[in-house]
Copies of this chain bind each other. A is one copy, B any other.
């Protein structure tokens, strides 16, 4: 059975020593985020993850969710209780404003919590994850009475939330949504249609489930400009705000999936369900994107979370499994064989995972901190930079952390050999669960197109310019610093490759959009590698000259990343510069 150990020391290092969270204590919401408090919170969160949530993971996979005849859904044994503990501990409201009952901590602290919960049991973590995203969307766009009715209950976790976008004929292309909203004459709407792949769409965790649903009003324009967002509670709140009459919506099926069996992926049927418009008519997609952007960071974290827990178990296995002898002579001659961690190729796989997990963790928190600063910073420049970075880097968190997360879970399975392929060890489940992260909340291809087609030119290229200038400044500042030379030099090379990619896109992507589309995946990978390199350079800087093993190991791991991972950037640049022609040349029927 797999184990999980919350990476508390790593969180502390990144938050305190690399990102300097404590230095923001003058900002609203950061006052309680002093290092000691954050450490104490994360320690408790770690315990919850290790002791309460992690034991659910295998059960959830084996049992899955059950749709009952009355359209209710039973979640796997223990899920409901564990959720109740999360609610009782106030974990669901960690980073929500105090006015809605939250604890008002910066969201970056929640990201650390979410990584741990998701490492412990990804399928479980999706329930509170979607609830938080729904609360965020309502805070952002709902009318005051809607906020006061729903948000506190979502923040407390008493009620949960979902996002309803996909229909059978539309996933990525939401302009094809057919669900209809017809005015009831009393200010409410009757929602009719079918939504599929609705994560946490039905379950037994909470007294009510608040569905946020994209639908089209009668007479609204076609495409995405005719979509409005509606809040459709499973039970209509009565005058006291308590769950009352059952709404005309229900779960009519659960998908049988490759993984995340513990999460109910529901087919939702709306038969004239009562819904309330959230925000403006026909402006629903914009609001849904508030939810979606949060969910995209969360999805990136999921990719990282599975790589993290899979890596931990691979490392344990590699230290314990005796097989073969070190190439340089027996390492433990008194044993029948050496532990497989002596083998360089096993090491390579572990170093790949370690350098990814620790770098990706830093990157997710770095981006998350900028998300906090977007709202909390006391100067316009920092707020603007926060928003810019969120826009620019969210697709990278989503796609790079899930694509590489999956690749690294696969490496962890490989360390286990045959034992990784049998379900008993739990390694196969990490792989099966993790695979969805590259798909949902906008496929990784959609992220790449978002980055190349929208985000590079966002606000006239301001976010890109600011981020590249930050890297440039860091590299320049450190090129003469003893011990930082290889990091500064490698970062300079990576930055140069990103610039070359941007230049190529500007010269070739605007005249032929297919050049941009064909380059998008490789550009995102190149940019992702560069972000990781920047994180490793920052972590190296924070570790330099410090003797403790922890810091020395960071320097070694960072060096591994720069010497053995970062060179992949050149091949991505070559692919970008090869252009769209070889990608697009064949007619569709040739495939």
Contacts and interface: CB of A to CB of B under 8 A. Distances in A.
B341 A591 contact: yes
How many copies altogether? 2
Q: Is the interface of A mostly helix, strand, loop or mixed?
A: helix
A473 interface: no
A319 to B, nearest CB: 6
A85 to B, nearest CB: 29
A216 to B, nearest CB: 13
Contacts of A443: 414, 417
Interface stretch (A17-25, A30-38, A231-239, A419-427): A419-427
A257 interface: yes
Contact of A575 (B322, B559, B567, B591): B567
Interface string A346-381: 111111001000000000000000000000000000
A257 B567 contact: no
B428 A414 contact: no
B514 A327 contact: yes
A514 B354 contact: no
A256 B58 CA distance: 13
Contacts of A583: 344, 347-348, 351, 560, 564
A440 B419 CA distance: 11
A591 B428 contact: no
A496 B421 CA distance: 37
A69 interface: no
A343 interface: yes
Interface string A147-168: 0000000000000000000100
A427 to B, nearest CB: 9
B421 A258 contact: yes
The number of chain A residues touching the other chain, given as a range, is 35 or more
A523 B518 CA distance: 28
Nearest to A517: B344
A514 B329 CA distance: 11
Nearest to A197: B418
A173 B323 contact: yes
A413 interface: yes
B347 A584 contact: yes
Given A327-B516, A345-B448, A516-B327, A436 B417 contact: no
Contacts of A421: 257-259, 435-436, 439
Given A414-B443, A575-B564, A586-B556, A324 B172 contact: yes
Given A560-B582, A567-B570, 8 more contacts: A256-B422, A327-B514, A344-B584, A410-B435, A417-B443, A420-B439, A557-B586, A564-B578
**Shortest 10 CB-CB contacts between residues of A and residues of B:** A344-B517, A327-B513, A567-B574, A315-B591, A258-B428, A563-B578, A345-B445, A344-B518, A173-B323, A560-B582
13 contacts: A170-B323, A171-B418, A172-B323, A176-B322, A176-B336, A343-B517, A344-B580, A345-B448, A414-B443, A549-B590, A563-B582, A567-B571, A567-B578
